[in-house]
Amino acid sequence: MRIRRITAALAAVLTVGALALAGCSADPLAQQFKEGSGKNYIAGTGVTEVQADKRDKPVVFEGTTEDGAKVTSSQYRGQVLVVNFWYAGCAPCRVEAPDLQKLSQEYQGKGASFLGVNTHDTAATAKSFEKTYGVTYPSILDVDSGSVQLAFSGALSPNATPTTLVLDKRGRVAARIEGPINDQPSTLDTLISDAIAGRG
């Protein structure tokens, strides 16, 4: 009975948090997140790496970006791919965006590409976010089908938003960061460079 009550209470908290996120503007949410108040946001946090001989099969996905371009997983075979799950109403997504953009620029032409997966928004909303935060790498819009999220539903699925996954050159998930990377951009940098070098 007690477990039932705790589960119900947790569900209520998650629902209220989601509704609050949907109704707030960008600045207050980002500020609350930076302050660490915990208001209006619940997510996982942590880094998980997978040794090369323990990785699942390559992830196969396809989708359409905010600009209407078709994207498939096969386009990225032979290079490391960093996949970030996000949406515009997510406060920590706003906070981590500059760090992701910086890393994407640093690795451009050096064996790693970046791809966003927007889980909630229309193309117009996604483009507005990208313009505001200077994000230049593409994002798949996955709100209607959820097919990309489903493709990543293996052992290291994106259980929180944001979640950042590092895929090795064969398209297998090599590492996951649950929660924002802004506290640990050097960790993501290391995970990327290790994957490029074939370490792990």
CA-CA distance, 152 to 160, in Å (whole number)?
Answer: 13
Do 134 and 170 share a domain, yes or no? yes
Kindly report whether the peptide bond that precedes residue 162 is cis, defined as omega within 30 degrees of 0.
yes
Do 78 and 23 share a domain, yes or no? no
Residue 97 three-state SS: helix
What are all long-range contacts of 146-153, with beta carbons under 8 Å and residues at least 24 apart?
146/119, 147/61, 147/62, 147/63, 148/61, 148/63, 148/117, 149/85, 149/117, 149/119, 151/59, 151/60, 151/61, 151/73, 152/59, 152/61, 152/83
Do 20 and 58 share a domain, yes or no? no
Do 119 and 170 share a domain, yes or no? yes
Total number of domains constituting the chain: 2
Q: What residue ranges in the chain does DSSP mark as E strands? A: 46-49, 62-64, 70-72, 80-86, 112-118, 139-141, 163-167, 173-178
Computed over its alpha carbons, how large is the radius of gyration of the chain?
A: 17
The answer to whether the beta carbons of residues 93 and 86 sit under 8 Å apart is yes
Task: List, as one string, the DSSP characters of 44-77.
Answer: --EEEE--GGG--SPP--EEEBTTS-EEEGGGGT
The answer to whether the beta carbons of residues 119 and 143 sit under 8 Å apart is yes
Do 83 and 25 share a domain, yes or no? no
Do 135 and 92 share a domain, yes or no? yes
Digit-by-digit pLDDT tens for the chain (200 residues) are 443 333 333 343 333 343 333 333 444 444 444 444 443 333 445 899 999 999 999 999 999 999 999 999 999 999 999 999 999 999 999 999 999 999 999 999 999 999 999 999 999 999 999 999 999 999 999 999 999 999 999 878 898 899 999 999 999 999 999 999 977 779 999 999 999 999 86
Do 58 and 20 share a domain, yes or no? no
Do 53 and 14 share a domain, yes or no? no
Helix (H) or strand (E) holding 191: helix 185-197
Range of the domain at 6: 1-42
